[in-house]
Amino acid sequence: MLGLNKKDSKFLIIVILLTLSTPFVMQPFSEASALSQFNGGYPDLMQRVAIFGIFAIGFNILFGLTGYLSFGHAAFLGVGSYSAVWMFKLLSMNIIPGIVLAVIMSGIFALLIGYVSLRRSGIYFSILTLAFAQMSYNLAYSVLTPITNGETGLQVRPSDVRLLDGANAPDYPNLFGWTMSTSYKWEVWGHLFTFNVGFYVCAFIAICAFYLSLRIFRSPFGLMLRAVKSNQNRMSYTGLNPRPYTLAAFVISGMYAGLAGGLLASMDPLAGAERMQWTVGGEVVVMTILGGAGTLLGPVLGAGAIKYLENIFSKINENILHGWFDFLPEGMENFFVWLFARFTGDGWHLTLGLLFMMVVIFLPGGLMEGADRIRKRFGRKSDDNSPSNPAE
């Protein structure tokens, strides 16, 4: 199917089914039940999972295959967002021109930054990308205010030109009239399921992005990228120039980041400089490693896990904690509430940090390695787990 072998086709179908069923899977508890706070927020959260999934898939093409660790991918996310919002302002609220420009602009940016940064490897490369990201952030925040609207962020206004939009075009980002925020609700057995246009647009694009990365992983180009990671010296004595290969990987992953940025702006037509902060670039590094760098599905899992847990943990405030521990004597109750409050709400990053440390120490291959170990434990040894397929 689609130029894939049987195994990969099966794999792709599973991914498609999983993606399309997230509205069900991520909302296992009915709205009325006490456990509803463990539901993944919808549609916002689901959109973010799909978008950050795209971001992480792209990042993995660079980091997972070539081993070049970039801390600067937030810059491309930001460039994508700004480009998309500018298209909304100038051309049309239809998301397609916005997303196309986002991908093109971030590609150009990645080419420039990559060309300079890839003169070095290892830690020096990481530092260079980090420096570029911070430069972009500061430019967006102050110097380039006419383009980025600085601190306030770039927003759409009723007074915008929007050359292509007619008089009665929707005022929100839309796909040929379907606004992204539209939701269709469906109630079954006391469960309320919501189908949101924005989510399905993100999901469709995420599946395409995943398919493309699958093709890259299986292609001779992907093989060369893994060769870059393995032994650059041998590569150049084998007649291959590693530089254009790494640059191509860098640009592709930058374009993925730009696509994610464009989608973020499409879901919520606002672009701020904080999207270019290095912490955003750090987050995608954590997602990729948590899920399993160099595997196909790992980055998506990492993005999903982090966004889902973030949603739950940051929702738990002291009131909820008091509710949980009110069976304890008062002194104990206050102690436990105080203790747990460090790790929830605003303290969510502490939990994430601990989780990340645990994964790196005990599961260096990320969640995918965990899944592999479980599969082996239960004796279902996958038949052709040849090392030539580091994916899955």
Residue listed under structure tokens 């296992």: 28
- Nearest CB to other proteins, comparing residues 215 and 315: 215
Using CB under 8 A as the criterion, what x/- string covers residues 128-167 for binding other proteins? ----------------------------------------
> Per the structure block, which two tokens stand in for 32?
């009325």
Rounded to a whole number of angstroms, the minimum distance from the CB of residue 183 to other proteins is 37
374's tokens? 């479980």
3 binds other proteins (CB under 8 A): yes
Nearer to other proteins, 224 or 367 (CB): 224
Min separation Cβ 127 and other proteins, Å? 25
Q: Is 234 in the site for other proteins (CB under 8 A)?
A: yes
* Rounded CA separation 288/53 (Å): 9
| Min dist. Cβ of residue 8 to other proteins (A) | 9
Closest residue by Cα to residue 289 from 359, 217, 352: 359
Shortest Å, Cβ 240 to other proteins:
5
Asked if 43 contacts 62 with a C-beta cutoff of 8 angstroms, the reply is no
382 binds other proteins (CB under 8 A): no
Please tell me whether residue 230 binds other proteins under the rule CB under 8 A: yes
Report in angstroms how near the CB of residue 204 gets to other proteins at its nearest.
Answer: 20
Number of residues located near other proteins, criterion CB under 8 A: 32
Nearer Cβ to other proteins (25/223): 223
The pair of three-digit structure tokens given for residue 156, joined into one six-digit string: 């759409």
CA dist 210 and 227 (Å) reads 22
Q: From CA 253, how far away is CA 255, in angstroms rounded?
A: 5
Residue 294: which of 245, 361, 365 has the closest Cα?
365
CA distances from 135 to 130, 143, 257, 282 (A): 9, 10, 17, 16
Reported as type and span, the H/E element at residue 205 is helix 197-218
CA dihedral 194, 196, 201, 206 (to 10 degrees): -40
- 239, 329, 331, 379: residue in contact with other proteins (rule CB under 8 A): 239
Per CB under 8 A, the segment of 131-139, 308-316, 334-342, 380-388 that binds other proteins is 380-388
* Residue closest to 213 by CA, chosen among 118, 20, 205: 205
Q: Identify which range of 18-26, 229-237, 261-269, 325-333 contacts other proteins by CB under 8 A.
A: 229-237
From residue 85, alpha-carbon distances to 96, 182, 192, 344 in Å are: 12, 19, 33, 33
Shortest gap between Cβ of 124 and other proteins (angstroms)? 21
Quote the least distance from Cβ 55 to other proteins, whole Å.
Answer: 20
Binding letters toward other proteins, positions 185-224, x by CB under 8 A:
------------------------------xx-xxxxxxx
Residues 6+ away with beta carbon under 8 Å from 280: 74, 77, 274
| Closest to 229 measured CA to CA, from 322, 294, 151, 159 | 294
240-299 positions binding other proteins, by CB under 8 A: 240-241, 244-245, 248
Least distance to other proteins, CB of residue 4, Å: 8
310 vs 25, 40, 261, 355, CA distance in Å? 17, 10, 20, 12
Instruction: Name the residue nearer to other proteins (CB basis): 226 or 315.
Output: 226
**Amino acid letter at 1?**
M
Smallest separation (angstroms) from other proteins to the CB of 294? 9
DSSP annotation of 241 reads -
Q: Which residues pair with 191 in a beta bridge?
A: 188
Q: State which of residues 184, 189, 237, 378 lies at the interface with other proteins (CB under 8 A).
A: 237
Stretch that binds other proteins, among 35-43, 143-151, 226-234, 320-328 (CB under 8 A): 226-234
When the beta carbons of 83 and 246 are compared against other proteins, the nearer one is 246
User: Can residue 12 be called a binding residue for other proteins (CB under 8 A)?
Assistant: no
The residues of the shown chain that bind other proteins, judged by CB under 8 A, are 3-5, 215-216, 218-224, 226-227, 229-231, 233-241, 244-245, 248, 386-388
